Amino acid sequence: AGFNMIYFLAGLQGIRQELYEAAAVDGANWWQAFVHITLPSLRPVIAFVVVVSMIGSLQLFDLPFILTNGGEPADAGSTIVMYLYKNGFQFMRLGYAATIGWVLFFIIAVISIVQLKLLGIFRDE
């Protein structure tokens, strides 16, 4: 969350002040300036933060592993990366763990592309 705030701060600092001044001269209130200047200017930052946060959530390993002692009870706290770890290093099924890693990669790639398309990153402006 802290890094995301830094990304948003950098995005906000990159918005030219002249846009807000021109909107004020045209009679726009703060909400109209936010909706028509700030949000469109932050669209690439929002897309980046959404995609990176989603990837980070799918790669979550250390906190659940430490807090639940490997996903106990009955693997209720397991994540897909913990499943990969258990198969690869506890059960020594390295090929299966590698396959889980590739499937995770393709899941992340597909979800990232869908999110970027929904956010309109691939559109020509």
* pLDDT per residue of the chain (125 residues) written in tens, 0 to 9: 789 999 999 999 999 999 999 999 999 999 999 999 999 999 889 988 988 898 888 888 888 888 887 777 887 778 889 999 999 999 999 999 999 999 999 999 998 888 888 877 767 65
Q: How far apart are CA 68 and CA 15, in angstroms?
A: 44
- pTM for the complete prediction? 0.74
Residues 6+ apart with CB under 8 A from 28: 36
Residue 52: inside a domain, yes or no?
no
Cβ atoms of residues 58 and 80 within 8 Å: yes
Q: Both 108 and 81 in a single domain?
A: yes
Which domain covers residue 111, as residue numbers? 60-124
Q: Both 40 and 66 in a single domain?
A: no
How many structural domains are present in the chain? 2
| Whether the bond into 73 is cis, omega within 30 of 0 | yes
Q: Locate 38 and state its tokens.
A: 């700030």
Q: Both 82 and 31 in a single domain?
A: no
pLDDT at 38: 96
Q: Both 66 and 110 in a single domain?
A: yes
Residue 27: inside a domain, yes or no?
yes
Residue 55: inside a domain, yes or no?
no
In the numeric block, the tokens 């933060």 are attached to 49
Separation in Å, CA 3 to CA 10, 15, 83, 108, 116:
11, 19, 28, 20, 20
Q: How far apart are CA 95 and CA 70, in angstroms?
A: 21
pLDDT at 23: 94
pLDDT at 35: 95
Q: Both 73 and 113 in a single domain?
A: yes
pLDDT at 64: 84
Q: Both 120 and 81 in a single domain?
A: yes
